[in-house]
Structures are given as structure tokens and as C-alpha cells.
Structure 1
Amino acid sequence: MSIQILQYEFLGPIKLQEWGPPMEKVVYLIMTREKDSFNIIYAGECEKTTENNFFTNNPSFKCWIESHSNASLYLAILPMFESENYARNKVLNQVIARYHPKCNERKPEPKPEYKIRSKHDSETSSIIPCPCCGSEMKVEKELENTTIIRCTECGISDTRLNS
């Protein structure tokens, strides 16, 4: 059985009581069932666990059981076996933004730090920060009038005019 959330195909839902480890590199949803529909009350991601009490040790577990009895909690997972942490967090943030699960703590988004640099500073600086993730961007290819740079972390590329 599977359930489609956004454009992703999650496995389940199964009763949370029926889950057993292990679980590795997944985005998971805690859901409640009302008649023929499921409501997402919590979304999370997991690198790896072999613990039977993985869910009951979750800081939001109290919210889950206060909302509904333990018997009516369901689990759906999206396996992302070859994924990095940022890829799972991207899916997780999309689910939270769309469904607003009531048991997810709303952490304020960190405000980006803006630094205004003069043109002289940017020309002499050898490290170019990625506008997406802040990691270092490296020169990939120098052309006649432009230079192509690529982020070492997220892979985004940019083109700079040579002056």
C-alpha cells in the first residue's frame, strides 16, 4: 500500500504500533485516520535507527498521543536510500510548508546574513560564496568573456563576466 503526498510516493500508512526497526534514510509522516482520509500531524526525517523506541522517544510524541490515542496513529515512509541529509530536509520542508502538521515545532527561519561588499572586495576575494547554500564556489571553466563557477556543496552554477 502507498499514499501520495505532494509528488512523492510514501509507503504505508501502517499502524505505528506495527512498525519495527531498522529504518534508514527516510522521510516519515505520523498520521491520524478519520474515516477514509489520513491527516498528517508530524513529519520528520531519519538518517538511521535500529531502536524499537525511536518514535516514543521523539520530543513530539506527547503531542501525537494527546491529539489521538496511540491506536489511531499511522506511519508512512519515503525511502531515500542514496540521499544526503539536505535532500531529505528539502522533502521534509515541502511537506511541512504544504500540510502544516500541528505537532511539528515551528522554528523561525534563520535570517540570511547580508554583507555589502565593494567591488574592490569582491575582486580581491578568492572565495566566492554560493548564493544558495553559502558554501565555496570554484571556477569550473574560464571562457573569453565569462567565467563559469560551481558550488562545491549543492552543485549550483553561475556565470560571471570577466572585466
Structure 2
Amino acid sequence: MTIQILHYEFLGPIKLSEWGPPMEKVVYIIFNQNKSGYVPLYVDESEKTDQNDFFTQNDNFKCWIQHAGNEANLSLAILPLWESDEPERKRIVDKIISKYRPLCQVE
């Protein structure tokens, strides 16, 4: 399954609880899944992680839960960018934030 955000094809969304490491050179979006669809809560990029608690340890996790009600309503979509560098991923993150204004984004 894929979801198009701007002109990028993200993999997912999948339930956040179904995610498992590793994850390398990606842009990711956390969504609240509700009756009207997927509502973006947070967008960021990651160089690499092997941590199982990568998302639950995020400083914004409480905000995600606040908007979603519980972790079961949180979904994740990723855009793999294996040949990218951090500035390139950050540009994509900034474009998505500018367009969608995720509810838990701290700028």
C-alpha cells in the first residue's frame, strides 16, 4: 500500500505498532487514522535507527496520543531515500510541513 503526499509515494500507512526496525534514510509521517481518513500529526526524517522504541521515545509522542486517543489510532508512512543526504530529506520535510501543517509539529 502507498499514500501520495505532495508528489512523493510513501510506503504505508501501517499501524505504528506494526513497525519494527531497522529504518534508514527516510522521511516519515505519523498519522491519526480516523473516520475521515489519515490526519498528519508529525513529519520528520531519520538517518538510521535500530531502536524498537524510536517512535514512543519521540518528544512529540504525547501529542500524537492526545490527538489520536490511543496508540492503536496512530499510523506511519515512510519515504525511503537511500541515496539521500540529511539536507535533501529536511527539504522534503519542510515542504510537507508547509503544505499540511501537522498538528504536533513544533517549529
TM over 0.5: yes
Unaligned ranges ≥5, structure 2: none
The alpha-carbon deviation at position 67 of structure 1 amounts to 1.1
Q: For residues 33 and 17 of structure 2, what CA distance do their matches in structure 1 show?
A: 14
Q: Distance in 1 between the 2:64 and 2:35 partners?
A: 18
Residue matched to 1:79:
80
Counterpart position of 2:53: 53
Partner residue in 2 for 1:23: 23
CA distance in 1 between counterparts of 2:12 and 2:5 reads 11
Larger Rg belongs to: 1
* TM-score between both structures, scaled by the size of structure 1: 0.64
1:35: how far off? 2.2
Q: List structure 1 runs of 4+ shifted beyond 2 angstroms.
A: none
Deviations 1:79-98 (A, max 9, x none): 00000001000100000000
1:62 alignment counterpart: 62
2:73 and 2:18 map into 1 onto residues whose CA distance is 12
Query: What is residue 103 of structure 1 aligned with on the other side?
Result: 104
Counterpart residue type for residue 9 of structure 2: E
Q: SS of 1:103's equivalent?
A: coil
Q: Which runs of 5+ in 1 are unaligned?
A: 107-163
TM-score (norm 2): 0.96
Q: How many residues align?
A: 106
* Superposed counterparts of 1:142-161, under 5 Å: none
Q: Deviations over 1:8-30 (max 9, x none)?
A: 00000000000000000000000
Distance (whole Å) between structure 1 residues aligned to residue 39 and residue 67 of structure 2:
11
Identity rate, percent:
53
Distance 1:35 1:4 in 2: 19
CA RMSD of aligned residues (A): 0.8
